Chains A and B, each alone.
Chain A
Amino acid sequence: MQVHNFEKLWFGAALLLIVGFIATVAYGTVGAGVQMVDDSGGQIDSQAVQQGSTGTGFDDPGVVKQSDDHYVVYVVAQQFQFAPGSGDTPIRIPADTRITFRVTSADVVHGFSIVETNVNTMVIPGQVSEVTARFDDPGTYGLVCHEYCGAAHHEMGGSIEVVPRADYEHNATEVQN
Chain B
Amino acid sequence: MTVGRRQFLTATAGAAALGVAGTASAQSEPDYGGWFDDVSNYDGTVDRRGQDTVEIAVGAEGNDGNYAFDPPAVTVNPGTEVVWTWTGAGSGHNVVSDGDGPLDSGSPVSESGTTYSHTFEEYGVYNYVCTPHESLGMKGAVVVGGPLQGGAGGEGGADIELSGPGWLLGGSVLVAFFSPLLFAAVMRRRYRERPPQPTDSDLELASGPRPVEGAPEVEPAVEVGHDEFDPWGTASLVAAYFVLIALLWVFMYFVEFLGRVSVIG
Residues of A within 8 A of B (CB): 6, 9-10, 13, 17, 20-21, 24, 28, 32-37, 50-51, 78-81, 83, 87, 98, 100, 106-108, 114, 116-121, 131-136, 150-152, 155
Is A116 in contact with B258, judged by CB distance below 8 angstroms? no
- Tell me whether B261 and A79 are in contact (CB under 8 A): no
Contact residue among A24, A107, A117 (Cβ-Cβ distance under 8 Å from B261): A117
What chain B residues lie within 8 Å of A87 (beta carbons)?
Answer: 131
B258→A34 contact, CB < 8 A? yes
**Interface size range of chain B in the complex:** 20 to 34
Chain A contacts for B132, CB-based, 8 A: 78-81, 152
> Contact at A132–B265, with CB atoms within 8 Å?
yes
Whole-angstrom distance between the alpha carbons of A133 and B262 in the complex? 6
- Residues of chain B contacted by A9 (CB below 8 angstroms): 235
Least CB separation from A10: chain B residue:
B238
On chain B, the residues within 8 Å of A150 by CB distance are: 65
Chain B residues near A21 (CB-CB < 8 A): 249
Question: A74 CA to B42 CA in the complex, in Å?
Answer: 38
Please name all residues of chain A whose beta carbon is closer than 8 Å to the beta carbon of B65 when the two chains form the complex: 150-151
Taking Cβ atoms with an 8 Å cutoff, the residues of B that contact A are: 63-65, 67, 91-92, 107-111, 131-133, 135-136, 231, 235, 238, 242, 245-246, 249, 253-254, 257-258, 260-265
Number of A-B contacts (CB under 8 A): 101
Query: Which residues of chain B are near A81, meaning CB under 8 Å?
Result: 131-132
- Chain B residues within 8 Å of A50, by CB: 92, 109-111
Chain A residues with CB below 8 A from B258, complex form = 28, 32, 34
> What are 26 A-B pairs at a CB distance below 8 A?
A9-B235, A13-B242, A21-B249, A24-B253, A24-B254, A28-B258, A32-B262, A34-B257, A34-B264, A50-B111, A78-B108, A79-B133, A80-B132, A81-B131, A98-B264, A98-B265, A106-B92, A107-B110, A117-B260, A117-B261, A117-B262, A119-B261, A135-B261, A150-B65, A151-B65, A152-B136
- Which residues of chain A have C-beta atoms less than 8 A from B111's C-beta? 50-51
Assuming the contacts A28-B258, A80-B132, A152-B136, asked whether A133 and B263 have C-beta atoms less than 8 A apart, the reply is yes
**Assuming A118-B262, A118-B263, A133-B264, is B249 touching A107 (CB within 8 A)?**
no
B257 touches A114 (CB 8 A): no
A118 close to B260 (CB less than 8 A): yes
- Residue ID in chain B nearest A118 by CB atoms: B262
Inside 8 A of B133's CB, which chain A residues have their CB? Answer: 79-80, 152
On whether the beta carbons of B262 and A17 are closer than 8 Å, the reply is no
Q: Which of B107, B245, B260, B263 interacts with A132 by CB under 8 Å?
A: B263
Chain B positions within 8 Å of A107 at CB level: 91-92, 110
State A106–B65 Cα separation when bound (angstroms). Answer: 18
CB distance from A105 to the nearest CB of B (A): 10
Q: Which of A13, A78, A151 contacts B67 (CB 8 A)?
A: A151
Give, as a whole number of angstroms, the nearest-CB distance from B39 to chain A.
Answer: 14
Q: Which of chain A's residues have a CB closer than 8 A to the CB of B261? A: 114, 117-119, 133-136
The 8 closest A-B pairs by CB, nearest first: A132-B265, A117-B261, A79-B91, A118-B262, A155-B135, A107-B91, A131-B263, A34-B262
A36 to B258: give the CA distance in the assembly, Å.
14
Specify which chain B residues have a CB less than 8 angstroms from the CB of A36 in the assembled complex. 263
Residue of A nearest to B231 (CB): A6
Q: How far is the CA of A17 from the CA of B133 in the complex (A)?
A: 50
The answer for the CA separation of A136 and B262 in the assembled complex, in Å, is 11
**Which B residues are in CB contact (< 8 Å) with A117?**
260-262
